[in-house]
């Protein structure tokens, strides 16, 4: 789409000349003879640059500049005047004008200024897009070599190039659905554009529409300037709808209309805005069952489910647990400046036998905590939360016989050790608080910890 330029100029011949100049340079011009008409056009049509005369029959150019900036502070405004005045030039820049030209001016010079203004506008838009799409990318790789995750990687490779096909990703909480969506985007033809994400649970229904579609100035109380929505920010790229099963029926209907017509209107707007966006949606619930219960639209489900990827739980990819844990450990150790390089044999067994109901997200949090607590080279079982240490192995885990022992076979000394370590775990490693809660002398506490450390070193 050609960039649009708004010309607000009372001189009829100048206005026509500038409009012809815009068309000859592949710009789409909108022209107004006064401030009132110019502001009306500005609120109706998205433009990248405004050519604004300093003296208009019904208002000062400076006042119009202020009104334009209230509506859209990012638009580039080039002021034009036949009466050069240093004070006025300084004032226009202070009020947010991009540049100031003196009539009569060379068209080649104006062409260069407009080009720079549009480049600057594009840069600001890209910065805004990057802010919107900036998610946590500290662990971006899809790790693991298990058959279950290898199958997911193969599906990603197949669907990524089909950039017009929407994707539905299903799986339990914490399995890495957003990571999968990002991998699809990065492997697609849309990778140079933006990946914009929104969590449908986190945004209240009354705000979802304005977030998705944006709004015009005055669309509602508090809308003091125009704001682009996520569909605009994601244009040419990918819009990631996390947990779409929580989207309201009204928003489901609006989303369906966009998928069918590829256009939308900002809140308070009258102009159709066309968008080229790939939708990647996720759900931890069965959307098909929700359609049977009339809590999710069938027509929207069929639009989104042309290609479905199911991300496996960590339980179903047990052989990936340790490689993922080691990856998290290395990242957190580097961030914290610690010399943690691995896990003891017992800690590794515990990590593998735990069922991980929170999946990769839970594993990442556990490893972060363990690195914080660990002042040695190896993470030990004492650095892991008690609920993980004491958890019975799940079917398909490493097996009960591979653990140190089960609670029912513990000696009194072992029960005492587990109790002390559990209390120490609960207080985040604070020894003074642990001593207070246990009701024992500090010297006794330190002696027992030394004893436990010697036992751990034998593991």
At residue 273, φ and ψ (nearest 5 deg) are: -110, 120
Q: Is residue 256 part of a domain?
A: yes
The span from the CA of 232 to the CA of 229, in Å, is 5
Domain end residue (candidates: 277, 310, 343): 310
Q: Is residue 369 part of a domain?
A: yes
User: Whole-model pTM?
Assistant: 0.62
Q: Is residue 97 part of a domain?
A: yes
* CATH code (residue 287): 3.40.50.300
Could you list the residue range(s) of the whole structural domain that residue 117 is in?
4-132
Q: Crossing angle of helices 61-71/35-44, nearest 10°?
A: 20
Q: Is residue 141 part of a domain?
A: no
| Interior/surface letters 350-374, b for 16+ CB within 10 angstroms, e for the rest | bbbbbbbebbbebbbebbbbbbebb
Q: Is residue 65 part of a domain?
A: yes
Domain end residue (candidates: 282, 310, 338): 310
At residue 198, φ and ψ (nearest 5 deg) are: -145, 140
Same domain for 295 and 413? no
Integer angstrom CA distances of residue 286 from 291, 299, 316, 359, 363: 9, 15, 19, 18, 25
Q: Is residue 449 part of a domain?
A: yes
Same domain for 303 and 335? no
Domain end residue (candidates: 279, 295, 310): 310
H/E element, 351: helix 345-353
Same domain for 100 and 46? yes
Q: Is residue 176 part of a domain?
A: yes
Same domain for 306 and 393? no
- Cα dihedral 229→235→237→242 (10° resolution): 30
* CATH code (residue 88): 3.40.50.2300
Same domain for 41 and 111? yes
| The two three-digit tokens of residue 453, written as one number | 């450390």
Q: What are the beta bridge partners of residue 312? A: none
**pLDDT in single tens digits along all 459 residues of the chain:** 678 999 999 999 999 999 999 999 999 999 999 999 999 999 888 888 999 999 999 999 999 999 998 888 888 999 998 887 777 778 888 888 999 898 888 889 999 999 998 888 777 766 665 655 544 343 357 889 899 999 999 999 999 999 999 999 999 999 999 999 999 999 999 988 889 999 998 888 778 989 999 998 888 887 878 888 899 999 999 999 999 999 999 999 999 999 999 999 989 888 889 999 999 999 998 999 999 999 999 999 999 999 999 999 998 999 999 999 999 999 999 999 998 888 998 899 999 989 999 999 999 999 999 999 999 889 999 999 988 888 776 655 544 333 344 454 455 566 677 777 777 766 667 788 777 777 777 888 888 777 766 554 444
Burial class of residue 48 in the structure, from the number of CB atoms within 10 Å of its CB (0-12 exposed, 13-18 middle, 19+ buried): buried
Same domain for 154 and 263? yes
| The two three-digit tokens of residue 59, written as one number | 């208002």
Look at residue 453 and give its three-state secondary structure.
Answer: helix
Same domain for 383 and 416? yes
Asked whether 12 and 33 are in contact (CB, 8 A), the reply is yes
Same domain for 330 and 233? no
Q: What are the beta bridge partners of residue 199? A: 242
Predicted local confidence at residue 405, as pLDDT = 41
The span from the CA of 398 to the CA of 330, in Å, is 24
CA-closest candidate to residue 246, choices 200, 309, 284: 200
Same domain for 91 and 168? no
| The two three-digit tokens of residue 328, written as one number | 């998290």
Q: Is residue 153 part of a domain?
A: yes
Look at residue 284 and give its three-state secondary structure.
Answer: coil
Same domain for 305 and 319? no
pLDDT per residue as tens digits for the range 298-340: 999 999 999 999 999 998 999 999 999 999 999 999 999 998 8
Predicted local confidence at residue 63, as pLDDT = 92
Number of domains in the chain: 3
Predicted local confidence at residue 199, as pLDDT = 92
Same domain for 167 and 262? yes
Same domain for 323 and 258? no
* CATH code (residue 394): 1.10.8.60
């Amino acid at each position: 789409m050609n960039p649009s330029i708004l010309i607000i100029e009372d001189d009829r011949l100048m206005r026509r000349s500038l409009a012809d100049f815009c068309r000859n340079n592949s710009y789409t011009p909108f022209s107004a003879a006064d401030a009132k008409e110019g502001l009306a056009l500005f609120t109706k049509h998205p433009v990248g640059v405004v050519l604004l005369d300093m003296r208009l029959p019904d208002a000062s150019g400076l006042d119009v500049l202020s009104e334009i900036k209230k509506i859209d502070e990012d638009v580039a405004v080039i002021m034009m005047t036949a009466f050069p005045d240093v004070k006025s030039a300084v004032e226009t820049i202070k009020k947010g004008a991009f540049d100031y030209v003196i009539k009569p001016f060379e068209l080649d010079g104006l062409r260069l200024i407009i080009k720079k203004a549009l480049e600057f506008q594009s840069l600001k838009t890209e910065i805004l897009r990057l802010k919107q799409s900036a998610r946590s990318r500290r662990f971006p790789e899809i790790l693991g070599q298990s058959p279950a995750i290898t199958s997911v990687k193969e599906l990603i490779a197949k669907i990524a190039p089909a950039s017009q096909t929407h994707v539905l990703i299903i799986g339990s909480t914490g399995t890495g659905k957003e990571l999968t969506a990002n991998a699809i985007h990065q492997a697609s033809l849309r990778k140079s554009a933006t990946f914009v994400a929104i969590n449908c649970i986190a945004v209240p229904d009354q705000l979802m529409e304005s977030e998705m579609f944006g709004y015009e100035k005055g669309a509602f109380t508090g809308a003091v300037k125009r704001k682009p929505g996520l569909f605009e920010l994601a244009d040419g790229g990918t819009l990631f709808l996390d947990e779409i099963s929580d989207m309201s029926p009204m928003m489901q209907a609006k989303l369906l209309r966009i998928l069918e017509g590829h256009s939308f209107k900002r809140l308070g707007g009258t102009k159709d805005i066309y968008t080229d966006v790939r939708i990647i949606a996720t759900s931890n619930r069965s959307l098909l069952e929700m359609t049977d219960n009339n809590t999710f639209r069938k027509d929207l489900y069929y639009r989104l489910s042309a290609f479905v990827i199911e991300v496996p739980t960590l339980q179903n990819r047990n052989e990936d647990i340790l490689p993922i844990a080691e990856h998290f450990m290395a990242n957190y150790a580097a961030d914290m400046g610690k010399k943690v390089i691995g896990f003891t044999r017992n800690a590794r067994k515990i990590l593998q036998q735990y069922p991980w109901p929170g999946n990769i997200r839970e594993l990442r949090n556990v490893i972060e905590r363990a690195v914080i607590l660990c002042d040695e080279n190896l993470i030990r079982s004492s650095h892991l939360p008690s609920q993980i240490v004491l958890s019975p192995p799940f079917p398909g885990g490493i097996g009960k016989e591979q653990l140190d022992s089960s609670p029912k076979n513990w000696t009194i000394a072992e029960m005492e050790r587990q109790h002390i370590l559990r209390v120490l775990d609960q207080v985040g490693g604070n020894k003074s608080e642990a001593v207070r809660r246990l009701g024992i002398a500090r010297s006794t506490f330190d002696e027992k910890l030394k004893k436990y450390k010697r036992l751990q070193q034998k593991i």
